[in-house]
Amino acid sequence: MTGPGSAGQVDGPVLSRPVVVRLLVVLAAASGCIDVFCVTRLGGFFASVITGNLVQLGHAVATTKPQLVAGGATAVGGYALGVAGGMLPLRRLGSGWRRRTAGVAVAESVLLAGVAVGWWATGGRPGYAFGLALLGAASAASGVQSVITLSAGIRGAATTYLTGSLTEVVRGAVLDPHRIVAGAGGISRLLGLFVGAVLGALTLTVAPRWAPALAAALVVAVVVVAVGLAQRGATTERGRHG
């Protein structure tokens, strides 16, 4: 029989806060990369910026443009499905980066890899219907990433929608300029998103068929680092108690 604390012992946080903060910056870069790809190559919709997608969708409905309506609905619906799917393995766990978190990140990387393979296989010309499928998969990946971020144990952190992060950074600086360091995590993620968008745009220019692969590679890098550090921590802990 297990006690109430057994779940935390079996799958408790495995990474420290500073490590998680750095991993979230890389995830923000992946988000910037996949968003610049989607908005420039898949019909003008973002993978993660639902506010912008809803505005676009509303405009499409008002102007009766069926193709844009389908694109907006796919982007918003794909994101929602990603959030729901990402929550399933994490819903009974507390906050913090856990072993299952890496598993959810693997699911995100698989979705992004699927987008990359689909884009490459069609020579960067997926057509309307397959383009919708790629947009849906990219949006689902962003939804999964949002769940990972919210579950990671960093209060107020975001890696896919950073309006709140910018608001908090500026608000904190105005209220108390001496506390600007407290907003360093938010600033880092904002810069990560920006750098990811720049890198994604450059890749679209010099090697367009490989553009989505960059976002997938960034998420894979996060998984590899997270699993490696967690394993090293577990080995150290076993040695300490051995």
- Determine the pLDDT at residue 164: 82
pLDDT at 4: 40
Give the whole-angstrom CA distance, residue 153 versus residue 105: 15
What pLDDT score was predicted for residue 105?
97
Report, as ranges of residue numbers, the positions in the chain whose pLDDT lies below 50. 1-9
Model pTM?
A: 0.89
How high is the pLDDT of residue 240? Answer: 66
pLDDT at 213: 97
Domain spans in the chain, listed from the N-terminal domain onward: 16-227
What is the pLDDT, as a whole number, of residue 3?
41
pLDDT of res. 175: 82
Convert the pLDDT of each residue in 114-163 to its tens digit: 999 999 999 999 999 999 999 999 999 999 999 999 999 888 889 998 88
Question: What is the model's pLDDT at position 6?
Answer: 43
Q: What is the 3-state secondary structure (H, E, C) of 119-178?
A: HHHCCCCCHHHHHHHHHHHHHHHHHHHHHHHHHCCCCCCCCCCCHHHHHHHHHHHHHCHH
In the block, tokens 């505005």 appear at 55
Categorise residue 79: left if φ over 0, alpha if ψ from -120 to 50, beta otherwise.
alpha
Domain 16-227: which topology? Growth Hormone; Chain: A; (1.20.1250)
